[in-house]
Structure 1
Amino acid sequence: MPKSELMPIGAFAQHSGLTPSALRFYADSGLLPPAETDPASGYRYYSADQVARATVLRRLREIAMPLAAVEAVLGAGADEASRLVDEHVAKVVEDAAAAQQKAAAIKSVLGDIPAHLIAELKGPVLADAVEQVLTAAADEPGLPALAGLCIEADHEAITLTATDRYRLTTRTLVPARPPAQPWVGTVSGDELRVAVAGIRRSALVRLEAVPHGIRLRAGDRADRLCRLLPGPFPDHRLMLASLGGVTTRVTVAKELLLRALEEQPGGERIALHVADHEVSMVSADDAHPGVALPATVSGQALRVWFELTTLYPAVSSAIGPDVMLDLRGEGRPVTIRSADRGDLTTLAMPIKHDHSA
């Protein structure tokens, strides 16, 4: 290839995002040899066709992939390369989780501060509650507390709360053994999800507060440490206290409501239309009226609009065969809970109709 069609190493570095020193290293390792090397000067030249390979190589190294694995990815077909990348990322995530656990264990003993009891709870009950409430958690840049579970303990109850700003779910549990003193903290949702399997298989789980986290102790199983997340948790108690009066109350079969939400055409945004003895759904363009569901209704007729991604998980996480919806008017938060159990409650934020057009 004529040198006029080749790039010197400096120009190729600018096109690929790799430094000249990195290009020399990858050339010597055989991962990215230059298209041509001047035998007299030793200058290295690259072709435009090599930019794509160099860019992939750079990105693989940015996710800390070892050279041997990089070589395997670059030499594989698309399906095998994707599998190798997924395998590497899974290993990185697993190693990071293990490091977090070890770091939490180290921090828990620094300064010789003793652990104190938060509560003792039945393992299967706690596992179910964690899974139900964490459906409302979310990863939001700059708001790490939204990815966690707020745990509040007092002498009467343990309250678990999570929110993604559009939905808030809370559940109250009665401890087998209450704490000696109140405790509040926001615990990593990801680490609690990992701990759920062990919690569920334990008859009794002891929650202990340690520096920077909580420790879950369950019989002869290994202790699990879950980190506290930085930043304040949203003031959900203030929001709950300022909800206002209920104008319409609806009780409807949970499975029927979920099926109607699943089958409603064009369902990114859906309105619940509440009238005498029934609930129906309407899609955003009003062109797809839903099936009317039998319901017990008290109060005024009302139509409230929701994002499906807000309403569906709020209903699906409810306990029991029937759900109760407390509506407060268009644009006001809706309370969704089990008709016969009030210890799991979800607030779902509606949207304005003109936002759905």
Structure 2
Amino acid sequence: MTFNKGEGSASDAVESDLLSIGELARASGLSASALRFYDRAGVLRPAHVDAATGYRWYLAGQVRPARVVAALRRVAMPVAEIGRVLAGPAEVATALIDGHLRRLETGLADARHELSQVRGLIEPEELPMGTTATVRAADLAGALNAVRFAVGSDPELPMLAGVLVELASDAVRLVATDRFRLAVAAAPCVAAAGSGGTSAIAPTPFVDRVRALLDAAGTVGTTAASRSAAGTNEVNAEVTVDGGRITVRAGEREVTGTALPHDYPDYRRLLPRAATRSVPVNAHRLREDLAAAGDGAVAVLSVGTDDSVGVETGEPVAGAARIGVNPRFLAQALAAAGDRRIMLELREPAQPMVLRPAGGPADMYSLLMPVRLDTA
């Protein structure tokens, strides 16, 4: 993305062939004072400076980089980074822009949280009541197991460092993603109360504490009130979201934590389209095949014309579809599925593949982005 920034390169040009600083200001959206500033900063130097008057002149080809500077200035990119965007190759410029966008998104999420806190301080009586949903503890534990592996760990994406908990009238829905895979699971409600449509991001340590609580609740400290109304010995769990607090109670025990102060990405935009092919897979056997293939950055799934699925270890099988995957990510998704039979849904080569429990609910699945294979 290297632009011609000037650097006095118009020694043989006449002023009539150049743009005045006022003309460039009108064409780019930068004020004349801003153009002088970026000249002094070494970001956008004029093509020619009149030795007698100090007046700056610019090449017509500098309109485009000046517009880039104006756009990046409007989104508060640091001057040094603007200079690197103009001077660097396209991949460097793209990385800088993406990094700045992440900072802006994090800052916006923080600002929303702070302003939400301010509203609560100004109008505490207007705060909504918390929402509580009741589910079977075993269902909630299973849903946590199904999504925990996909939680993000990138410090630059703090909004992904937890599980999104959505309380609806029919289910407690859990979502986790690290951008490379996405896992969704739900625990059907036994009972729900409070205002609907509530959600919060449960931080990873809290999620792990809840999982331990659910294990303990199945064997100790249970009361008749915690069991289902159907008269079984199964323990129920109550999930409550109240402002920035999340509480899970099972049996006579509970854990409470503070929700992450961020906005979770709209995961529904990533939901898979209709599959072009769906094949049954034995999760346990495919995990064994991955382990036998050894360590590697990429594993190749081979899906035969007879719907057989295996890990490629030699020459490609004629007619088989080949899908590159991160073997660790796939193994974790398969482990979350347990030893059950799953359905592997395939789409276009660059589209994510989806793993679903065979015969399971529609809102329980994991999505995994493929790895590009070298076809040379």
How would you bin the TM-score normalised by the shorter chain? 0.5 to 0.7
CA distance in 1, matches of 2:285, 2:315: 16
Give matches, 1:25-174, under 5 Å.
Answer: 116-174=130-188
The structural deviation recorded for 1:354 is 2.6
Q: Which SS does the other structure have where 1:177 is aligned? A: strand
Q: 1:289 to 1:313 in 2, by over 3 A?
A: farther
The structural deviation recorded for 1:234 is 1.8
Contact 1:248 1:302 in 2 (8 A): no
CA distance in 1, matches of 2:131, 2:273: 36
Q: Which SS does the other structure have where 2:367 is aligned? A: strand
Q: 1:121 to 1:177 in 2, by over 3 A?
A: same
After superposing the two structures, state which structure 1 stretch, 317-326 or 170-179, moved more: 317-326
Q: 1:289 to 1:312 in 2, by over 3 A?
A: farther
CA distance in 1, matches of 2:311, 2:301: 5
CA distance in 2, matches of 1:196, 1:160: 13
- 1:316 pairs with 2:335: yes
Q: Which SS does the other structure have where 1:193 is aligned? A: helix
Contact 1:320 1:340 in 2 (8 A): no
Unmatched 5+ stretches in structure 2: 1-119, 218-234
Deviation per CA, 1:205-254: give whole Å up to 9, x if none. 21122231211223322x311221122212110110xx333222110211
The structural deviation recorded for 1:349 is 0.5
Q: 1:336 to 1:145 in 2, by over 3 A?
A: same
Match of 2:284 in 1: 255
Q: 2:358 aligns with which of 339, 343, 347?
A: 339
Contact 1:319 1:341 in 2 (8 A): no
Given residue 281 of structure 1, which amino acid in structure 2 is its aligned partner? Answer: V
- 1:192 pairs with 2:207: yes
Contact 1:271 1:303 in 2 (8 A): yes
Contact 1:136 1:168 in 2 (8 A): yes
Q: Which SS does the other structure have where 2:342 is aligned? A: strand
Contact 1:248 1:301 in 2 (8 A): no
Match of 2:191 in 1: 177
The structural deviation recorded for 1:326 is 0.4
CA distance in 1, matches of 2:142, 2:168: 20
Q: Which SS does the other structure have where 1:226 is aligned? A: strand
Computed over aligned residues only, the root mean square deviation of the Cα atoms, in angstroms, reads 2.6
CA distance in 1, matches of 2:150, 2:290: 18
Q: 1:220 to 1:172 in 2, by over 3 A?
A: closer
- 1:230 pairs with 2:245: no
Match of 2:14 in 1: none
Deviation per CA, 1:51-108: give whole Å up to 9, x if none. xxxxxxxxxxxxxxxxxxxxxxxxxxxxxxxxxxxxxxxxxxxxxxxxxxxxxxxx9x
Identity, in percent, stands at 26
Match of 1:330 in 2: 349
Q: 1:317 to 1:176 in 2, by over 3 A?
A: same
Contact 2:147 2:176 in 1 (8 A): yes
Q: 1:114 to 1:332 in 2, by over 3 A?
A: closer
- 1:246 pairs with 2:283: no
The structural deviation recorded for 1:315 is 1.6
Unmatched 5+ stretches in structure 1: 1-106, 293-299
The structural deviation recorded for 1:316 is 1.7
Match of 2:312 in 1: 282
Q: 1:266 to 1:199 in 2, by over 3 A?
A: closer
The structural deviation recorded for 1:173 is 1.6
- Aligned pair count reads 233
Match of 1:216 in 2: 248
CA distance in 1, matches of 2:327, 2:372: 14
Q: 1:155 to 1:353 in 2, by over 3 A?
A: same
CA distance in 1, matches of 2:264, 2:374: 31
Q: Which SS does the other structure have where 1:145 is aligned? A: helix
Given residue 296 of structure 2, which amino acid in structure 1 is its aligned partner? Answer: G
Contact 2:284 2:339 in 1 (8 A): no
CA distance in 2, matches of 1:176, 1:126: 12
Given residue 182 of structure 1, which amino acid in structure 2 is its aligned partner? Answer: G
